[in-house]
Chain A
């Protein structure tokens, strides 16, 4: 199972930093420190924007950890369409970079998405992705908020177009009630299209007991309170490194 770390650079989504520190202290946990303490030599970092790249690259290079950097971004049918209806055609993808050329392409895609395609959030579309696609990138479909997830649980009408590559499908299990529905659809899609499935776990905090801190952080960002978080399905304390470790024993 691949741990997919996310740092605090993905605003409001994770309480983990990318600091280079040797051991746990009273400050926020660091992904680099977690990797070092657990002999993880390959870090998979999936961010919602690209601002963490410099710190991630610098600190992993210093500590001989190989970095797989991925951007989780919204993709829609047409970037030009900026209407409420276009939201129903939008889902998430993850684009990993293999090397410097991949980084350059991804930066370009993200810039276009943040400038031209922006509608509540940076968005790209399938035509743009196809136009810039090259062998220095890897396309993955996240478990949550993908076209499979949104079409199954949200009445979305996302029609993906992956004619230019074979995406890898990510599957997760974090003890949420709707996961089996998505799983079933994902398996079917993988069989029909002969696509690889990888078991993954999104990691936003270190230990299960950190969930309350994480929830507090999410509530602050959501301008809500712990007594009334108003965050749909925010129940699982399994999005953590501890849980990944337990499942990988």
Chain B
């Protein structure tokens, strides 16, 4: 099934003015974590790269790309190293002490109106949660801000329409827990390619490159869902 994200060029209906697609004041922080493996707890996994892009309305206003150097015996899994193109020397050379960069990450996430990620509900939020807990900080207030582009795409492709009167987080969990149909592809690259988005696809799985693509996909997705 070919899936094309449509960009709306419709007139703004007065009733729709509150929708995110028209709001130029809200701040979005897009976040992507690259980690040693897919475990959701720091007992066996740690993020070695956290990239963030700050958007206001449609405008990119800042970005951060942190390599994190942990004091740990954990090793990156072969799969993760291959897929994420992990460069040990680079992480050792450019990596920060996680305690040093945490205040910036916390400041960005705390002050964002929305925190966007691809599969953030099923993955990144758990690494963020573990990171906050490692720093003895509360994190639950972040959950209400989450927007998961992977879930939105899955919802659209499964015809699970979001009713604007419903709780958006609840909707996202419902879609997240819905069994994936075999033919449906929701990865950033496949959806972006289907939609004809221009991008450097060769560099995917570098956190910052992924995020750039995530922003482009979101800019199309926001016309497809009434939030």
A212: chain B residues at CB < 8 Å are 41, 43-44
B133: chain A residues at CB < 8 Å are 175
Indicate if the CB atoms of B173 and A215 lie closer than 8 Å: no
Give A227 to B78 CA distance when docked, in angstroms: 10
Minimum CB–CB distance from A27 to chain B (whole Å) comes to: 21
Interface of B is mostly: helix
B174 lies within 8 A of chain A by Cβ: yes
B129 lies within 8 A of chain A by Cβ: yes
A100 lies within 8 A of chain B by Cβ: no
B143 lies within 8 A of chain A by Cβ: yes
A249: chain B residues at CB < 8 Å are none
Residue interface mask A157-179, B partner, CB < 8 A = 1 = 00000000000000000010110
B38: chain A residues at CB < 8 Å are 227-230
Give the contacts of B159-175 with A (CB-CB under 8 A). Answer: 160, 167, 169-170, 173-174
Indicate if the CB atoms of A215 and B177 lie closer than 8 Å: no
Indicate if the CB atoms of A177 and B43 lie closer than 8 Å: no
B178: chain A residues at CB < 8 Å are 155
B92 lies within 8 A of chain A by Cβ: no
B84 lies within 8 A of chain A by Cβ: no
Indicate if the CB atoms of A180 and B44 lie closer than 8 Å: no
Contacts A177-B140, A232-B122 given; indicate if A215 touches B43 (C-beta within 8 A).
yes
Number of A positions contacting B (CB below 8 A): 24
Indicate if the CB atoms of B170 and A235 lie closer than 8 Å: no
Residue ID in chain B nearest A150 by CB atoms:
B177
Give A175 to B121 CA distance when docked, in angstroms: 14
Indicate if the CB atoms of B126 and A235 lie closer than 8 Å: yes
Indicate if the CB atoms of B79 and A228 lie closer than 8 Å: yes
B77 lies within 8 A of chain A by Cβ: yes
Give A28 to B41 CA distance when docked, in angstroms: 22
Which residues does B use to contact A, with CB under 8 Å? 37-41, 43-44, 77, 79-80, 121-122, 125-126, 129-130, 133, 140, 143, 146, 160, 167, 169-170, 173-174, 177-178
Which residues does A use to contact B, with CB under 8 Å? 152-155, 175, 177-178, 180-181, 209, 211-212, 215, 226-230, 232-237
